[in-house]
Amino acid sequence: MMHNKSVAELSKELESGKISSVELTQQLLDRLKNEDGKYNSFITISDEQALAEAKAADEMRAAGKATAWTGVPFAHKDIFCTNGVRTTCGSKMLENFVPPYDATVTANFKAAGAVCLGKTNMDEFAMGSSNESSFFGAVTNPWGDKRVPGGSSGGSAAAVAARLVPAATGTDTGGSIRQPAALCGITGLKPTYGRVSRYGMIAFASSLDQGGPMARTAEDAALMMNVMAGFDPKDSTCIDREVPDYTATLNEPLKGLKIGLPKEYFSEQLSPAMEEQVRNAVREYEKLGATVKEVSLPNAKLAIAAYYVIAPAEASANLSRFDGARYGYRCENPKDLMDMYTRTRAEGFGNEVKRRILVGSYALSAGYFDAYYLKAQKVRRLIQQDFINAFKEVDVMMSPVSPSPAFVQGEKTTDPVTMYLEDVFTIAINLAGIPAMSVPAGFVDGLPVGLQIIGDYFSEARLLNAAHQFQQVTDWHQREPQ
């Protein structure tokens, strides 16, 4: 039953010598191949590399150089470049792209001796909230037939929920770690902007993108953060600041913790059944000694509008590199250079990506820049100030992650705006650059509900501590989909 064990437990099994990494890796690869047909949570299973990494990990251990991660299997969202292993970002544009280098996050896991089983499915270029925009097909939520797993890190969330891997990386630009974590009943953390290197993480909206952990427990998320966080000279927005041992403070008592409930996040957008689960979770915190008060984020209602100017603007610039000339897809028999550019992009990108490029190019064009892009940036500053003000009064904030539990595939694909509203409770956090978690906190109609815990800049250790303490007195994170 190795597939049911957490990273922390697998680490102990390997340390005790009860199982080797090669044996463990082979077991999980076999299971992954048998089971993933139901979910489509992986784009690439890299068995050869995984077994080679497992062998190297066993040697690392024999040489007395093991870390907590040595020999432990996990997976990467297919947005992190992996040297020699195809990296698609969920797009036809990169269907056959094999990077000649590792992302810093990838390199960090390798240095720790972790074993990557493959690359998880995702919305194309991380644009989406349901994993239906992937060129490699939709992902199915293990909690419900034909239900979405959330997005864009839906493959990682589904794989962890289905016990295919104990943990997986994700990225979060407007909610893409927290929302799929909530919809699949797992634990996810979006770190402070600049805490985790973006080098080699394919760019969507550079001022918002942040990589982070997705796992079943807060303890495992802390173990992932120990590997992922830290300064990287290759990313000019990465912050040079000491990295704590995120597992060291998991057991701090929560007595006296001041929790704020942002009243704007308990609005009519939230169904009463969802609200009840979130409020029950907050009551658990009161039992643990926390105090609760209402706070206000008056500009939060502007977050979606500001985000859907800023993120597409940055995406339109980032995606200009996919032109058929340098790497990735190129159309057949171009007539001339312009024909190559236009047909490559028309054929290589899916609809949602094209929509974002159009919106972004429009917002940045002369004559509209001030009215849209500049205005959105000003709103972003106001939203950030709301959080700064609120954190003068409280230590953390708690809210729902998404307005509803996992919806049925196809339900929101016809109207992009209903899809965008999936992130009403997560997007403002990216605009402000602060960290937030999603923690399993109950069920509605048999589908998981997440509790969002929002923190001030660089408070990841405190968030993980709060999540871990909750997981000592609840078992939502242990529930298994049938």
- Given the complex with ligand GLN, which of 22 and 434 has the nearer CB atom? 434
* Distance of closest approach, residue 360 Cβ to ligand GLN, in angstroms: 11
**Catalytic annotation, pick one of 133, 152, 153, 156:** 152
Structure tokens of 163? Answer: 């016990």
* Distance of closest approach, residue 172 Cβ to ligand GLN, in angstroms: 5
Please report, in angstroms and rounded to a whole number, the separation of the first and last CA atoms in the chain.
16
* Distance of closest approach, residue 103 Cβ to ligand GLN, in angstroms: 16
Number of residues binding to ligand GLN, judged by CB under 6 A: 13
Tell me if 173 contacts ligand GLN by CB under 6 A: yes
Q: Which stretch binds ligand GLN (CB under 6 A): 30-38, 43-51, 124-132, 335-343?
A: 124-132
Q: Which stretch binds ligand GLN (CB under 6 A): 30-38, 174-182, 365-373, 448-456?
A: 174-182
Tell me if 124 contacts ligand GLN by CB under 6 A: no
Closest CA relative to residue 412, chosen from 402, 427, 426, 397: 402
Give yes or no: 176 in active site: yes
- Given the complex with ligand GLN, which of 113 and 350 has the nearer CB atom? 350
How far from chain centre, in Å, is Cα 197?
14
- Alpha carbon distances (Å) from 83 to 234, 321, 437: 16, 20, 30
Tell me if 126 contacts ligand GLN by CB under 6 A: yes
Structure tokens of 125? Answer: 């270029």
Binding residue (CB under 6 A) for ligand GLN from 6, 176, 459, 465: 176
Q: Name the region of 253 (left: φ>0; alpha: ψ -120 to 50; beta: rest).
A: beta
- Given the complex with ligand GLN, which of 225 and 353 has the nearer CB atom? 353
- Given the complex with ligand GLN, which of 71 and 175 has the nearer CB atom? 175
* Distance of closest approach, residue 89 Cβ to ligand GLN, in angstroms: 11
Give yes or no: 18 in active site: no
**Catalytic annotation, pick one of 46, 77, 91, 156:** 77
Site string for ligand GLN, 203-222 (x = CB under 6 A): -x------------------
Closest CA relative to residue 411, chosen from 144, 186, 178: 144
Tell me if 172 contacts ligand GLN by CB under 6 A: yes
Antiparallel, parallel or unpaired: β 291-295 and 396-400: unpaired
Tell me if 149 contacts ligand GLN by CB under 6 A: no
Scanning the structure block, which residue is given the tokens 């299973």?
45
| 77 close to 118: Cβ distance less than 8 angstroms | no
Tell me if 128 contacts ligand GLN by CB under 6 A: yes
Give yes or no: 459 in active site: no
Binding residue (CB under 6 A) for ligand GLN from 175, 191, 194, 211: 175
Site for ligand GLN in 400-429 (CB under 6 A): 423
Binding residue (CB under 6 A) for ligand GLN from 6, 120, 121, 129: 129
Which positions lie near ligand GLN, rule CB under 6 A? 126-129, 152, 172-176, 204, 311, 423
| Residues involved in catalysis | 77, 152, 176
